Amino acid sequence: MTSGRKSLPSSSKSSGNNSLKRKSKSLSNSTIPDSKKQKTVVEFFKPLKSKENSTSSSPSQEQEQNPDDTQSQIEVSPSSIIETPTSSLPLHPFFQKKKKKATIDCNAIVPVVEVPKFDADQLGVIENDSAKYLVVQAPPGGGKTLVLTFRAKKIIETNPNACLLLVTFSRDATREIQERLQKYGVEKRYDVKTIHAFALSICRKYGAKGKTYISTKESIIKEMKEQLEKKNVTLTETVEKYVDWAQDEYAREVSANEFATSDYKAALTIYEEIAKSMLTLSSLMREACYILTSNHQGSRDFYQQHYSDVLIDEFQDTSTVQYKFMKMIIGEKTRFSVFGDPHQAIYSFLGAQEKIFDKIMEDFPSATILKLRRNYRSMKSIVLASNRFMKTSTENSIETDSQDAITLNNFSTRDGEFQYIANQIQILNNKGVSYNDIAILMRRSTNTSELESILKNKKIPISKNAKDDTRVMLNLMKLICDGVEIKDEKFTKSMKWIIKHFIYFKGIGEKSFEKYLQYLKDQETPSTKVPTKGKAPKKDKLEKFIRFFTVINELAAGLANTTFLKLAETIQKKFNWDDPLIIDGLGLNDELVTSDLIDSLISFNDETYNNSSDGKGIHICTVHRAKGREWKHVFVPEVQDGVMPLIKKSDPIQLKKQQIVHEGEEDRIFYVAITRAKEWLYLTNNSSSNSSTFIERLKPHETKQ
């Protein structure tokens, strides 16, 4: 421990798929609150006629969920569907009750994991062995990530010399793929990483001095302030705002020379200088690309020889610099398979572009294009409406439909609109719909707080971000590196966060921790004995705190020359925390643990974490955050020009900018929003004079007689 710091007490004591059938239901039209403000209810979305009082027939085949499109259904029977809940992780060993030893029947049959059923298109991708370069395009709910996973499984099983790199754009997808490969017993001849984690691992292994870990945002802001002061430059906005903007522009390879003299030019110029000496999240890809392009220390040769196959998920999210980076991994003998949907390319502000599919075909003209054509997620009327909007021809696999599959409600005020959404959610919940099956997707987060306030007043629970076990691990390491000082406010704040998120402290809250701190101050020689007087937590909680800090102190004392992976493994072992995926994907080799390294990893983790929900309420998020997910009931508010699409038609300058920089982007954002719905889609707006141009494109065209 660092000298001068008080160590907390140590002690010698130590602590020990059911399938759900989807039914075709019809929600009755309920009275809309704030009826005076409601203007019209448009009923032009006419679903195809279904059999009277029909329900889904028992499906003959069942498909496992797609990790990219959560709970998406893959099946062969076109008139039925099986809904498979996401499997939950087993109870943590620390909290499992001890059971009496049971005799094991050696003759018992070992259960076999059932392999999902695939349609002909999906099997064509999985079993294709003739194409060296494969480009797979799939619609929403098409099961592309599931198919990618089983293609990887097939390659490993049929090629004993194969070594695969699977690249994703989200940590959630990374974990899902890893868990599936483990579930089906695939031999560990693969790496599954987000593209940022893979780039970071290259920078750590081959990067220049000072560029082997991500600088924190705080350190970048500090450096920019110092540079501004040296250059005697004053910005009109906060430095934090310009840093955020500069990071995005730098990641898109925009040069400061493209701007006239302005605050933005000055900020981006300084940021470019900072990126020369510091590794930032936005400079990460460019730095890794430079290392491979220059073949620094034989880096490019190593990866091209090491990986026989490269598989990339959500390829439409690939930016120009990321594409250059991944191209460097493809050697003469390397095979690749990319999966994506050009109609879901909605990250142009990060440099991604829809035409990336044209680019890869230009660079690899011999590539084979295969398409998945069926949507296993949404009701027929939703699939047909999205087809009309985007001029696609996706086939639907759910023949049953709801009378209210798509509705549009117009209001004269935003309050009336949000009140309607809240009341409709209450009606759905009273009819037995779980809050977790409902989502509200916003084009922008500006009015989210207003909506949340209305929901809270009606006591509607809102789902929060799920706990991030990787962040828990990093915070434990931070506590070990920095030492413990009970009078330090940062220590108290950090411990409260750990208690809230670390499964070891399940059932213990902040009050117990505050009692423990007070107990330490009252005891000259703290022990596990509970005093007869004074404030102290209960004995079991007291012992748990003492054991926790005993472990922390022991690890801190032996921190010298300890590698990151070794420390992580020791922490997991000490706390019976058995989850090998907690630290996977951070791009680490055998770096020695330092406080700076942990700060860097915390910053990197926070920037790239996907904010999965805890599933304890309705979901409110932007359309960008909703990508790759799905819900039974989806509300899309403010479907009006100026919000969705975001650029106003009356503003020619902004319209021109949209056409040049974000051509078709707003269309794709709305397409992603409406295709998140499985059973019901509710569109609302609060503008009578400026309704969205998108609505007309959803309407079915009547056949002329």
Confidence check: pLDDT of 586 > 60: no
Confidence check: pLDDT of 21 > 50: no
* Mean pLDDT value across the chain: 77
- Could you tell me the strand order of the sheet in which 619-622 lies? 38-42, 406-411, 677-685, 631-636, 438-442, 619-622
Confidence check: pLDDT of 535 > 80: no
Closest C-alpha to 186, from 151, 144, 156, 166 = 156
Q: pLDDT higher for 183 or 94?
A: 183
Cβ-based burial of 653 (10 A; exposed 0-12, middle 13-18, buried ≥19): exposed
Can you read off the two tokens belonging to residue 670? 């709305």
Confidence of residue 495 (pLDDT cuts 50, 70, 90): confident
Same fold, 38-47+379-465+614-698 and 120-205+286-372: yes
Confidence (pLDDT) at 540: 76
Whether 138 has a binding-site annotation, put simply, is yes
Confidence of residue 234 (pLDDT cuts 50, 70, 90): confident
Q: pLDDT higher for 603 or 17?
A: 603
Whether 141 has a binding-site annotation, put simply, is yes
- Distance between CA atoms of 674 and 678, rounded to whole angstroms? 9
Mutual angle of helices 510-522 and 489-501, in 10-degree steps: 140
Mutual angle of helices 263-277 and 217-230, in 10-degree steps: 120
Confidence check: pLDDT of 705 > 50: no
Neighbours of 222 (CB within 10 A): 13
Mean pLDDT, residues 353-369: 92
CB 439 within 8 A of CB 455: no
One-letter identity of residue 260: A
CB 78 within 8 A of CB 486: no
Most confident of 261-270, 358-367, 580-589: 358-367
Whether 142 has a binding-site annotation, put simply, is yes
What are the DSSP calls for 483-521, one per residue? ---TT-HHHHHHHHHHHHH-GGGTT--HHHHHHHHHHHH
Q: Which of 237-241, 379-383, 614-618, 669-673 has the lowest mean pLDDT?
A: 614-618
Confidence (pLDDT) at 205: 87
Angle at 134 between CA 131 and CA 136, to 5 degrees: 140
Confidence (pLDDT) at 545: 84
Mean pLDDT, residues 140-159: 95
**Residues 391-446: tens digit of each pLDDT:** 888 887 776 666 668 999 999 999 999 999 999 999 999 999 999 999 999 998 88
Can you read off the two tokens belonging to residue 111? 């259960």
Q: pLDDT higher for 621 or 489?
A: 621
- Distance between CA atoms of 86 and 88, rounded to whole angstroms? 6
One-letter identity of residue 238: T
Backbone angles phi, psi at 635, to 5 degrees: -105, 130
Confidence (pLDDT) at 466: 56
- Distance between CA atoms of 338 and 476, rounded to whole angstroms? 37
Alpha helical stretches, state H, 252-315:
263-277, 284-293, 299-306
Confidence (pLDDT) at 500: 82
Domain boundaries defined on the chain: 38-47+379-465+614-698, 120-205+286-372, 216-275, 469-608
- Distance between CA atoms of 528 and 9, rounded to whole angstroms? 10
Can you read off the two tokens belonging to residue 385? 């409406």
Confidence (pLDDT) at 188: 92
Confidence check: pLDDT of 531 > 70: no
Mean pLDDT, residues 534-552: 77
- Distance between CA atoms of 393 and 370, rounded to whole angstroms? 15
Confidence check: pLDDT of 636 > 80: yes
Q: Write down the pTM of the prediction.
A: 0.69
Radius of gyration from C-alpha coordinates of the chain = 27
Confidence (pLDDT) at 87: 40
% of the chain with per-residue pLDDT over 70: 72
- Distance between CA atoms of 149 and 155, rounded to whole angstroms? 10
Cβ-based burial of 659 (10 A; exposed 0-12, middle 13-18, buried ≥19): exposed
Q: Which of 357-371, 582-596, 651-665 has the lowest mean pLDDT?
A: 651-665
Q: Give bridge partners of residue 620 from the DSSP assignment.
A: 440
Confidence check: pLDDT of 528 > 90: no
Name the E strands within 332-420: 335-340, 368-371, 374-375, 395-396, 406-411
Q: Give bridge partners of residue 550 from the DSSP assignment.
A: none
**CATH architecture, range 38-47+379-465+614-698:** 3-Layer(aba) Sandwich (3.40)
Confidence of residue 207 (pLDDT cuts 50, 70, 90): confident
- Beta-carbon contacts of 111 under 8 Å, excluding residues fewer than 6 positions away, are none
Whether 139 has a binding-site annotation, put simply, is yes
Closest C-alpha to 577, from 452, 476, 692 = 476
Confidence check: pLDDT of 1 > 70: no
Is domain 120-205+286-372 in CATH 2.60.40.10, yes or no? no
**Beta-strand pair 406-411/38-42:** antiparallel
Q: Collapsing DSSP states into helix, strand and coil, what is residue 672?
A: helix
Confidence of residue 294 (pLDDT cuts 50, 70, 90): very high
Confidence check: pLDDT of 610 > 90: no
Q: pLDDT higher for 30 or 540?
A: 540
Most confident of 581-590, 614-623, 679-688: 679-688
- Distance between CA atoms of 193 and 216, rounded to whole angstroms? 21
Alpha carbon of residue 135 to chain centroid: 23
Confidence (pLDDT) at 575: 87
